[in-house]
Amino acid sequence: MIPTWLDRFREQAPLLEVPAFLRPAPTARPAAVLILFGDGPDGPDVLLLERAATLNKHAGQPAFPGGSIDPEDDGPVGAALREAQEETGVDPSGVTVLSVMPELFLSRSNFRITPVAGWWHTPCAIAPGHPGEVASVSRVPISELVDPANRISLRGPGGFVGPAFEVHDMLVWGFTAGLLTNLLDLGGWSVPWDENRVVELPPEVLDLARRG
| Domain containing residue 112: CATH number | 3.90.79.10
Query: Alpha-carbon distance 182 to 27, whole Å?
Result: 25
Query: Alpha-carbon distance 138 to 71, whole Å?
Result: 29
Under 8 Å between Cβ of 95 and 13: no
Q: How far apart, in Å, are the Cα atoms of 94 and each of 117, 122, 190?
A: 13, 5, 27
The sign one gets for the Cα dihedral 43, 13, 127, 60 is negative
Give the angle subtended at the CA of 210 by the CAs of 59 and 115, to the nearest 5°: 50
Q: Identify the pLDDT of residue 36.
A: 98
Q: Identify the pLDDT of residue 160.
A: 86
Q: Identify the pLDDT of residue 132.
A: 80
- What's the total number of domains in the chain? 1
Query: Alpha-carbon distance 162 to 153, whole Å?
Result: 5
Under 8 Å between Cβ of 23 and 107: no
Per-position pLDDT tens, the chain of length 212: 999 999 999 999 999 999 888 888 888 999 999 999 999 999 999 999 998 866 555 557 899 999 999 999 989 999 999 999 999 999 999 999 999 999 999 887 899 999 999 999 999 999 998 778 899 999 999 999 999 999 999 998 778 899 999 999 999 999 999 999 999 999 999 999 999 999 998 887 776 666 55
107-116 as b/e: b if 16+ CB within 10 A: eeeebbbbbb
Query: Alpha-carbon distance 45 to 125, whole Å?
Result: 15
Q: Domain range holding 43?
A: 4-209
Length of the chain: 212
CB-facing half-sphere around the CA of 158: CA atoms within 13 A: 6
Query: Alpha-carbon distance 19 to 23, whole Å?
Result: 7
Q: For 8-94, list the strands marked E by DSSP.
A: 29-40, 43-51, 62-63, 66-68
